[in-house]
Amino acid sequence: MIGKSQPDRAELTAALQWLVTAGVDTVVGEMPFAWLVPAGPIFVAVDARREVTPVVARAALATINADSLSALAAALIEAHSTALFADGTPGDAMVIGDRPTAADAAHGRVFADAAGALLDKMLAAIGRSRGDTYLANAVQWPGSGSATPAETAASSPYLRRQITLARPKAILALGQAAATALTGSTVGINRQRGHWVEVDGIAVMPTFHPAHLLRHPTHKALAWADLCAFRARLA
């Protein structure tokens, strides 16, 4: 019997590229797993030895004296002139995305693109709007593509202070970048979503970013389940 030859490097690369193009971002095991069954809490390990770069140090120093959201916004704009601080109204609900898009920059506000329009519909579906929800991003200045680890680290002091001053009861983290910025976990969003994580005493629900839902509409049912959990937590 002639044995099956092993695939060469080109074949393996082509197979992986096909999976990426198809939208696969999480590798699972061979055994079946009930993804929709509620799981236990996710414990996040925080590395206290995280390197503090000069940029991060300056950002942290700039936030120390910010005793209001307006003062924090001014400090951010002084350091990053293209930054977009937030939209909506501080209250019990806060939504955090990845970073401002080119459309956001053009309109001068966060979530001003097609993904933002979908976010407005998502909020309306649970009886909320920008009028009673505070919208922000993990990285506050526009850029192409997802935020780099260095950009996330530089933005972190502003984001942490922003959350402290806004004092939300719960946060909806939209997408991998926002979830990682808040929890420190690099677990894929497919596995993080749907599970509450407590960060600095605030409940955080990771879910899909609206931009992802525009590309993968079949995931809207999962996002709806996360929204319902978010609504229940705010009740």
Domain segments of the chain as ranges: 52-234
Nearest to 178 by CA among 168, 164, 193: 193
User: Whole-model pTM?
Assistant: 0.76
| Distance (Å) of CA 159 to CA 33, 129, 155, 156, 187 | 35, 21, 6, 5, 21
Which CATH code for domain 52-234?
A: 3.40.470.10
pLDDT in tens, the chain (235 residues): 444 456 666 776 766 666 666 666 555 555 555 545 454 444 443 343 344 444 454 555 556 678 899 999 999 998 899 999 999 999 999 999 999 999 999 999 999 999 999 999 999 999 999 999 999 999 999 987 888 888 998 899 999 999 999 999 999 999 999 999 999 999 999 999 999 999 999 999 999 999 999 999 999 999 999 999 999 999 9
